Structure 1
Amino acid sequence: MKEIIFNEGQLNRFTKKQIIELFLAQQEQLQKQTTQLEELNRKFDLIYEQLTMSRADRFAQKTEKFDYDRNR
């Protein structure tokens, strides 16, 4: 979607109805982007949690004992 940027002069020529329509469209777009951002944040949090758990599992102290003499 191409971003349209209006300057003050252009906005001054708009009717009240046109400005209201622009505002409502912007409000709707902002709500959609907010929802998308919240979903991305939830996914990021899940991935971060999985990474943290993976690192903890990978680098945690192991309870198994390794007998070095037996494997020589």
Structure 2
Amino acid sequence: MTDYTQRALEVLAISDSGDTYRIERRCRTLPGDDDGSHYYCCLPDGRQVAWLGDGRYELPDGTVVKVVACQLRK
């Protein structure tokens, strides 16, 4: 079972066309994993999002978005 031990980081990102997206970045640790924590990024509906680095993410449809704000989710 996956253990989400930290609060999610919510990211507000915008595409070149001006559409905005909310992305959740969660930290997860797996039992017996000696490498530590891994990050999982997804849209609110659970579809996985790829982190490209430097404040950029790639959505499931290939759209690249840029981060404009982020906050820890309560």
| Structures share fold, TM-score greater than 0.5 | no
Q: Shorter-chain-normalised TM-score: which range?
A: under 0.3
Greater Rg by CA:
1
Structure having the higher helix fraction is 1
Given the two structures, how large is their TM-score scaled by the length of structure 1?
0.16
Larger relative contact order, structure 1 or 2 (CA cutoff 8 Å, min sep 6) = 2
Given the two structures, how large is their TM-score scaled by the length of structure 2?
0.16
